[in-house]
Amino acid sequence: MENIIHDLKTQRQGVSGGLPAAYKLIPIAFYVGVALSLVLSLYFYLSIREYKVKKITWEHQLSQSKTAEGKFTTSHKEILSITQKAEGLAAWLEGARPLQPVTTAIGRSMGPNSTIAELDFNRNPEIPAHTFMNLKINGGGTDQIESTLASINALNYQTYSAQQVKGANTTDFQATLIYSDRK
């Protein structure tokens, strides 16, 4: 029986010569590609992890920088507000000049026939450079008012919104005195 089956099978010689040598490298290239893709995947995975860690540290540094910047801006605003208050106080003090030289100049400007019946100064608390003056003079008239205004102007005070009311023997003069720094 063995011979019968063997007889059915004929020898086939030279039908196929086999694969070329370059085709034998295909499975090796496949395994090398798989290994390379695994190495690259591991490299990219580690790079992403490193990026996430760096991102967290950068965000932490950014938040610290923003809080430090916020502290600096609040302290800067506080310094600016204190500076503005100090400048306002300095301007108020500059405007709040002593009125004793003005009263002395008014008293010395009175002529022999004139007397001061009433002298009143009211300072504006918001604008201390503006001082409201109310002056009543007995005798002297308009000439005495001009002499008094000349002595006030010599102290660098300007009269603003002046009003003069002349009575029988009295002269009532009202004005706002504004100091002007003339050099």
pLDDT for 38: 97
Grade residue 11 by pLDDT with cuts at 50, 70 and 90: low
More confident of the two residues 111 and 53: 53
Express each pLDDT in 146-180 by its tens digit: 899 999 999 888 888 888 888 888 889 999 988 88
Contact 148, 109 (CB under 8 A): yes
> In the β-sheet with 170-179, what is the strand arrangement from edge to edge?
115-123, 130-138, 170-179, 157-166
* Nearest partner of 117 among 171, 48, 183, judged by Cα: 171
More confident of the two residues 145 and 56: 56
pLDDT for 6: 56
Q: Model-level pTM?
A: 0.51
